[in-house]
Amino acid sequence: GRAYIGVVLILKNNEIGIILFQRYRSQGYAAKALALLLDQVKPQPKISGGTFRARIHPHNFRSIRLFEKAGFAHAYNIYQL
């Protein structure tokens, strides 16, 4: 009786990832999942300065807004060749 709507994960480098199936986006599920995660899980203290991080594409305004509402702040952009 349970349906999967996506996945929430924490990588070894304290990076949070939230991926929802298309039909479940923009319904508040990501915000609820992020709030539960931050309430129940603490980052590894010796990794990434002991803080959680989220790698978000600069044009993904919904994800940026989601993480900013949860208290995250923009830190930097990465450029590679």
Instruction: Give pLDDT tens digits for 39-72.
Output: 999 999 888 889 999 999 999 999 999 999 999 9
Q: State pTM to two decimals.
A: 0.86
For 57, what's the count of Cα atoms within 13 Å in the CB-facing half-sphere? Answer: 4
Lowest mean pLDDT among 1-5, 7-11, 61-65: 1-5
Give the pLDDT score at 77: 82
pLDDT value of residue 7: 94
Give the C-alpha separation, 27 to 7, whole Å.
15
Residue 78 burial (CB count, 10 A): 5
Q: How far apart are CA 53 and CA 22, in angstroms?
A: 23
Short-list 6, 7, 10, CA closest to 41: 10
Give the model's pLDDT for residue 48. Answer: 82
